[in-house]
């Protein structure tokens, strides 16, 4: 039995718990990693997920903003919820999940800061925070490799809020000075990737020049026709684990669901 893992910025887990249930009923991923849950831990809607068989739940939430969670129907151990940038933000949780063969993978579920509007750290503290967050990811993954990525393999996934490639945005030229696609961000994200030679399995299987997006703004009148999207959500695997990944899906149709998130889920299948 393969292990399937979904990641989705849900933009309020309480408001969209039925959409998570729809994802579960239609795709039955073993593990669902959520970002922007916007929900304190004691208010997390665990019951609906327990009823669906996803009784293994790890959450790092806060009131009003941010928040990450992992739902699983396979054995799960919470490893750490690491604070970044001394901000008290809930933007990371790491868990170990066991595949049916007994091999366990470590999943780092991230919600990287969006960074505000002005791409200048000197005048925009949110952009400065985003760049410092990337620096901390690089330092952590470089210095603490056995914890971050055990021998059996590890995954970074979630809303990284950066579209790294030219084909990850609707217009490379128009977005070069727009937060999410500026060179300082795409260079920073590439440095994170190189820290452990992570494999971007989504782009391995759906390579450029095909355009690929996971987010479309709510402000666009007709998101599908205009298609002014960005690929802000990612799934990276350590090299040894990437060989076991035999399928990736970006569920574009979820952007058209009733009262949707502005992000869509990505699902990967691991033959472990």
Q: State the residues that interact with DNA by CB under 7 A.
A: 11-12, 14-15, 38, 40, 63-65, 113-116, 126, 161, 218-219, 259
CB of 122 to DNA, least distance (A): 17
Q: Which is nearer to DNA, 113 or 164 (CB)?
A: 113
CB of 147 to DNA, least distance (A): 27
CB of 9 to DNA, least distance (A): 8
Q: Which is nearer to DNA, 38 or 106 (CB)?
A: 38
Q: Which is nearer to DNA, 115 or 164 (CB)?
A: 115
Query: DSSP secondary structure string, 4-73?
Result: EEEEEE-S-TTTTHHHHHHHHHHH--SEEEEE-----GGG--HHHHHHTT--EEEEE--SSS--EEEEES
Beta strand 229-230 pairing with 215-216: antiparallel
Q: Is 82 helix (H, G, I), strand (E, B) or coil?
A: coil
CB of 232 to DNA, least distance (A): 8
CB of 163 to DNA, least distance (A): 13
Q: Is 174 exposed, middle or buried (0-12, 13-18, 19+ CB in 10 A)?
A: exposed
Q: Which is nearer to DNA, 63 or 194 (CB)?
A: 63
Q: Which is nearer to DNA, 118 or 135 (CB)?
A: 118
Cβ(110)–Cβ(130) below 8 Å: no
Distance from C-alpha of 6 to C-alpha of 12, rounded to nearest angstrom? 17
């Amino acid at each position: 039995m393969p292990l399937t893992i979904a990641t989705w910025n849900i933009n309020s887990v309480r408001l969209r718990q039925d959409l998570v249930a729809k994802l579960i009923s239609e795709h039955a991923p073993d593990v669902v990693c959520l970002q922007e849950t916007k929900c304190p831990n004691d208010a997390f809607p665990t019951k609906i997920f327990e009823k669906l068989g996803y009784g293994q739940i790890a959450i790092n939430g806060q009131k009003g903003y941010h928040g990450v969670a992992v739902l699983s129907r396979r054995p799960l151990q919470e490893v750490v919820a690491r604070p970044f940038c001394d901000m008290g933000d809930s933007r990371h949780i790491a868990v170990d999940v066991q595949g049916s063969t007994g091999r366990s993978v470590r999943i780092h579920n991230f919600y990287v800061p969006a960074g505000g509007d002005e791409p200048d750290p000197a005048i925009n503290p949110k952009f400065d925070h985003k760049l410092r967050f990337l620096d901390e990811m690089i330092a952590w993954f470089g210095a603490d490799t056995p914890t971050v990525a055990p021998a059996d393999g590890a995954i970074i996934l979630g809303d990284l809020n950066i579209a790294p490639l030219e084909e990850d945005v609707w217009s490379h030229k128009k977005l070069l000075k727009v937060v999410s696609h500026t060179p300082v961000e795409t260079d920073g994200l590439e440095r994170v990737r190189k820290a452990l030679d992570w494999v971007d399995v989504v782009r391995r299987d759906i390579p450029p020049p095909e355009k690929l997006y996971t987010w479309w703004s709510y402000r666009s009148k007709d998101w599908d026709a205009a298609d002014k999207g960005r690929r802000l959500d990612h799934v990276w695997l350590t090299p040894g684990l990437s060989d076991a990944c035999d399928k990736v899906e970006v569920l574009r149709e979820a952007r058209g669901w009733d009262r949707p998130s502005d992000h869509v889920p990505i699902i990967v299948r691991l033959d472990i």
